[in-house]
Amino acid sequence: MLNANAARRRSTRETVATSPLAGRIFDADGQVMSPTFAYGKAGRLYRYYVSAPLQQGGRSSSTDDAPRRVSAPRLESTLIKALARLLQACPDNPLDLISRLELRSGQVVLFLAVTHLADIRERLKTGETADADPADRTLCRIVLPLRFALRGGRTEVVGGAPGAAHRDPVLIRALREARGMIGTDRNGDPVLDASPVTPHRRRLVRLAFLAPDIQRAILAGKQPHGLSLARLLECELPLAWADQKRILGFHRETNVTC
């Protein structure tokens, strides 16, 4: 058994070491994201790219929802498809063309040789941009609107830029219930007469104090992708409306006029 486990570990190290984006992928804070792995059922191997502070048990300095741990195969396959579409003459290993890759909230930023810029500009879709990198004129910077969602403790690429509005009935019902707990005083200002009875309702009532444009976005189905009732109940909502929008991702994905 020891010999078999040792052989499996050697094989795993080789698999992780061949992660094609190793050393070139960074999170929103500029921290390198290193390849790592985990075993699932039946010994299946899962590969990830994880931010260095997260691997070391620390926390990121950013307050947004940019990914810190992402499925490596899903990200790599998404980038390969994007590069195959953008480049007229795409090599067999298009990921080798990437000089640097940054994962941000709602987007992926690629840096390629500037010689590809003219070719790429002709094939851009809505929401995608490409220009010369101001910090290094030998590189071009490509911004792809890609969304990330947290599923079962892992972050996955789930698609491009947000499309049509999607009204979440569970989230809307919870928001209405929270607003129903709030009364008004003689001046018409909101007031809470008594603390809600159950812990769940005490967490739920916080939704009534979300920024007004966040509430309107939820009712219109224009909330950022991945914003669920479970996420709202679990996170620590700040009092400042601007901080709420930044933490929940409204500053990047949603354009709502107050």
What average pLDDT does the chain have?
A: 82
Q: Mean pLDDT, to the nearest integer, of 70-79?
A: 90
Q: State the pLDDT confidence band at 152, using cuts at 50, 70 and 90.
A: very low
Q: Mean pLDDT, to the nearest integer, of 228-235?
A: 84
pLDDT greater than 90 at residue 138: yes
- Res 177: pLDDT: 93
Q: Residue 61 burial by CB count (10 A; 0-12/13-18/19+): exposed, middle or buried?
A: exposed
CA distances from 68 to 56, 153, 192 (A): 12, 11, 38
Q: Residues 129, 135, 138, 140: what is their CA dihedral angle, to the nearest 10 degrees?
A: -10
Q: State the pLDDT confidence band at 254, using cuts at 50, 70 and 90.
A: very low
- Res 150: pLDDT: 52
pLDDT digits (tens, 9 = 90+) for 234-249: 888 888 998 888 888 7
pLDDT digits (tens, 9 = 90+) for 208-224: 999 999 999 999 888 87
Distance CA 219, CA 215 (A): 6
Q: State the pLDDT confidence band at 229, using cuts at 50, 70 and 90.
A: confident
Q: Mean pLDDT, to the nearest integer, of 99-117?
A: 92
Q: Mean pLDDT, to the nearest integer, of 70-78?
A: 90
Write down the domain spans for the chain.
Answer: 2-159, 169-253
pLDDT greater than 80 at residue 135: yes
Q: State the pLDDT confidence band at 253, using cuts at 50, 70 and 90.
A: very low
Identify the helix (H) or strand (E) that includes residue 98.
Answer: none
- Res 114: pLDDT: 94
pLDDT greater than 80 at residue 108: yes
